[in-house]
Structure 1
C-alpha cells in the first residue's frame, strides 16, 4: 500500500531548544530558562537528579548569563528561522512541527493583554513556512511554561492555570487561524517523570508531590479538552491532537509475573491518551489512585468537558523500548528520554544508552491504532549521536541506518492497516537537548557549529543524512 499521497513528511523542534533570544522582544522567563547543563544523570534516581529547587530558581532569576543555562541561547533560531526554514524546504518538508513559546505571547502567563512582538514573530514564522508550502503543526505547550506561574502557583497543580492557558490558546487561534494542525501538550504523560519541566511543579513547594503531579495532569487534561473545543469553534476544519511519550514495554521473560508487570506499565503509559481520546479515566487507573491515596479534584462539569471534547488524532514520540519484571532487582536498568527501565539484551543502544528498536515502532503503531481507532501521527523519532565534521562534511551513516530501519517498520504498520497522517523526525537540525541541555547530543540532518559551551560560528552544514532524507520524502518513502 505505502504511505498516503498527502503524507506529511517533516521534522519537529521546540521553541525552548532552538530559539534562544530568551529575553528579547518582551519575552518572559520560562521553566526552560532555568534548566542547567547536566550531561551526566544518574540512572538509579533520574527524577531526583533533574529536580529543580526553589533555591535553584531564585539563583537563576538573578543570573542573566547563558553559560550554564544553554536553552537560553538555543541555536539562535529566533534570528535564523528564515535560513533554517529554507533548508527544511530544500529537504522537501510537507510539514514542520514547532512550538509557540507561551512566554513570548504572555511573558508572565497572567497578563491581561498579549505581547504583540511575540504574536508578530510567529506570524512571520508561519508566513515563511507558507512561502514554501510547508504546513505548520503547532504545539501549544512544549516544556516552556511561564516561570512566574510556576513560582506563584506551583504550576499546573493549581486549577487557575487552566484559564491562563486557555486564554493563551485563544490568542494563538485568533492570530494564526490558517493553521490546521495543533497539539495541546507535548508528552503530557511526562508530568509524573519531570514535574517541573512539564508542569512547573516545584517539588519543595509540594506537601504531597505525587498528589500534585496527578492533579496537574488532570488540570492539563481539562485545559486540553477546552482548547480542543475552542480550536474547532475558531478554526473550522482544524485538527487537534494529544501527544504521548510512547513507552513501549516488554516483559523481561514469559514468566506471568513479568507479563503482568509489563501490562501494568503499558496501562499507565496509555491512560493520558485514554482520557483525551475516549473522554474518561480507565477504571483500572481510578483504582490505582485509590490504592495510592490520590484524591483528584474532578467536578461533574469537568467530566462533561472531557467526554464532549476528545481529540481528533493521536500523536506520539517514539525513541526506544524497555523491559519490565515483577521483580525489578532482576533487571539491568538503563535510562532514555527521561524514563528508567530494564535494558533489553537483544537490542543495540545509542551512545547515550537508548535502545534501538525499530520493530517497537511498528508494534506501537499497531497497538495505538487498535486501541483508539483514530488517525496517528509520529511527531518525534530520532537518535542522539556525537557527530564529527571531517573536511567540511559529516558522514552520519549510523543515523541513516536508524531512520531507514524505523521508516521501514512504519511502512509495514501502514500496510497492516494503520491510518498514519505523517512523520516528523526529531530533530531535523541540531539543537539543545531537552534532558541534558547538551549540544553534543546531536539529532539533526543539519549540523550546527556550536558546542556545549555555546562556542562556535552557528553555521549550518548539511550532513550525509540530509540528502538521504530528501530522497525519502521525494519518493514518499518508496526509496529508503
Structure 2
C-alpha cells in the first residue's frame, strides 16, 4: 500500500528482551525426575574455534551416559537457572525487558520423551518461571525444542530419523499448550531447524559412522519429520489457544558472492536457497521446487505419508524468526573453508571478526531482514544476535564497550530495515546472562549483560554481576531504541 510517510522509529509495541535455552542455563540435569537430553552428552570442545556438538557416535554416547558427573559435560550444570530463576528474571525486569525467550526442556516434562504421564515436578518449574515473568509483565517467548530432545528417544528410535518421534513430540506439545497456553502468547517450534543438516544436536540421530550421502539422506528425512511435527504443533496451538502465535526459527546465513562473476553469484544463490528452504516449508506450507534438483543429485528420497503435504499446506506459521550472527562469502568450486565455527564459506576482507572467528556484519542484518520480509510477507522477529567475548572482571566490574558497540550497530540496522518497510516484531539478543556456549560448551565465551561467576571447569560462586552493557540496554529499552549512546 502506497503511503507518503514511512516509519522512522521502532513500533510502540516492539518486544525488547533476551534469549536463552534450557540446556545452556538450567542445570539441575538429574533433579526432580528430569531425563538426560542430547545436549547433555556432548563434551566440551578442545578447540574454541571448532564445534564439539556433533562428534557423537555409539561409543561416545555410551561413555557419556556412563559418566554421571557434569565435569566434562558443562550443559549439565548450565548456570543453575533452575535455582536462580527468580533472581535472574528480576534482573531482566530491571533492564526493562518486554519479552524473555527461553525453552522448555522436553525431558523435564517427559523424561523418556514418550512417557505415559508427564512429570509434574517439571511442569511446576515452568509454572514458577511464568509466575515470575507475569510479576514483572514480561511476555514469555517459548521454544518447544532447542537442541535438547530426550536422549531416550535417540536410543529407542534414533531420534527424528523415525516417524514415531512425531507422535511423542505432539503429545509433549499438547501437554504444554494445555498447561501454559493461556499464559503464553508467542511460541517457536524448532530452534535453528536448518542446523539439523549438521546432525545429532538437532536431529537426535546417530549417523557419524555413515557415508556422506547416507548422512544427508538420514538428516533430511529426520528434518522432514520435524517439519511435519512443526505443522502439527501449529495446528494444535491454533485449536487450543486461538489468540496465541506460532513462529519458526532459522539460523540465517546471509550469503554474498565472492566476486561479480556470474558463477559465483549463482553459487551464492544456491547456498541461500538451501538455507531458506526450511522457512519456505514452514511459512509457505510446501517444499520449494528448487530443492528437487539438490535432492536428486545427492540421492536423497524423502519418504512422505499421503497426508504430509496437506498437513504442511494447512498449517503455516504465523511469524518467522531467526538468529543472526554473521554472513558468509560463497564462490563456485570452493573448498569449504570455515567461517568461524558456525558456517562454511570464504572470509570477507571488509569485515572484522570476534575472538571466535565470527565475522561481524551489521549491515548484513538489514539485508537479510529485507530479503526475508520480501520473501514471506509475515512478521519477522530477530530472536538471537549477540557477541561472545572474553570478558574480564576488574575490581568487580566489566567494561564491555565492545559488546555495546556490536549491539548498537545491529540495532541501528534493524531501525533502518523498519524504515525500509520491514514488519519487525521484536529483538531478543543472545544471551542476556552469561551461559554455557552452544558450540563449544565453554563458559569463557560470554554474551551477557549479566556476568556469572563461573569458569569453564564449573568453579565459582554463581554470583550475578551487572556489566556496563546492562545499563546501556536499560536505556535502549526505556527509549524504545532511540537512545543508543
Q: Give the TM bin, normalised by the shorter chain.
A: over 0.9
Task: Please report how far the alpha carbon of residue 62 of structure 1 lies from its aligned counterpart in structure 2 after TM superposition.
Answer: 1.4
Deviation at 1:106, TM superposition (A): 0.2
2:257 to 247, 251, 258: 251
Partners of 1:375 and 1:419 within 8 A in 2: yes
Equivalent-residue separation in structure 1 for 2:49 and 2:423 (angstroms): 39
Q: Could you tell me which of 426, 443, 446 is aligned with 1:442? A: 446
Following superposition, the deviation at residue 327 of structure 1 comes to 2.6
d(CA) in 1 for partners of 2:303, 2:159: 16
Q: Specify which of 22, 27, 33 is matched with residue 29 of structure 2.
A: 22
SS at match of 2:387: coil
Aligned mates of 1:92, 1:413 — CA distance in 2: 23
Query: For 1:72-115, what per-residue CA distance to the aligned partner results, in whole angstroms no more than 9, with x for missing partners?
Result: 00000100000000000000000000000000000010111100
1:128 aligns with 2:132: yes
Structure 2, unmatched stretches of 5+, are 1-7
1:393–1:371 distance in 2 versus 1, CA, 3 Å: same
Q: What are the ranges of 5 or more consecutive residues in structure 1 without an aligned counterpart?
A: none
Show the 5 A alignment for 1:289-438.
289-329=295-335, 333-336=338-341, 338-438=342-442
Distance in 2 (CA, whole Å) between partners of 1:39 and 1:446 is: 26
Residue 151 of structure 1 pairs with residue 158 of structure 2:
no
Q: Which moved more, 1:6-15 or 1:50-59?
A: 50-59
Deviations 1:121-159 (A, max 9, x none): 001101110000000000000000000101221110100
1:325, 1:153 → 2: CA distance? 39
Q: Cα distance, 1:333 vs. partner?
A: 3.7
Tell whether 2:288 aligns with 1:282.
yes
| Offset from partner CA, 1:349-403 (integer Å, 9 cap, x none) | 0000000000000001000000000000000000100000001100000000000
Q: Give the match's secondary structure for 1:314.
A: strand
C-alpha contact (below 8 Å) 1:206/1:212 kept by paired residues: no
Conserved in 2, the CA contact under 8 Å of 1:51 and 1:203?
Answer: no
Residue in 1 that maps onto 2:41:
34
| TM-score (norm: length of structure 1) | 0.97
Deviations 1:36-70 (A, max 9, x none): 01041676xx68x8320111111111111111000
1:141 pairs, out of 117, 138, 145, with 145
Which segments of structure 1 move beyond 6 Å, counting only runs of 4 or more?
A: none
Which residue does the alignment assign to 2:277?
A: 271
Query: CA 1:204/1:348 → structure 2, altered by over 3 Å: closer, same or farther?
Result: closer
Partners of 1:42 and 1:386 in 2: how far apart?
Answer: 14
How far off is 1:33 after superposition? 1.0
Three-state SS of the structure 2 residue aligned to 1:152 is helix
- Looking at structure 2, the residues matched to 370 and 298 of structure 1 have their Cα atoms a distance apart, in angstroms, of 30
Query: CA–CA distance in 1 between the matches of 2:277 and 2:142?
Result: 23
SS of the equivalent of 1:300 reads coil
Query: 2:81 matched to 1:77?
Result: yes
Q: Is the 8 A contact 2:238 2:244 kept in 1?
A: yes
Equivalent residue pairs, number = 474
Normalised by the length of structure 2, the TM-score is 0.96
Q: Which residue of 114, 120, 124 maps to 1:116?
A: 120
For residue 395 of structure 1, give the secondary structure of its aligned residue in structure 2: coil
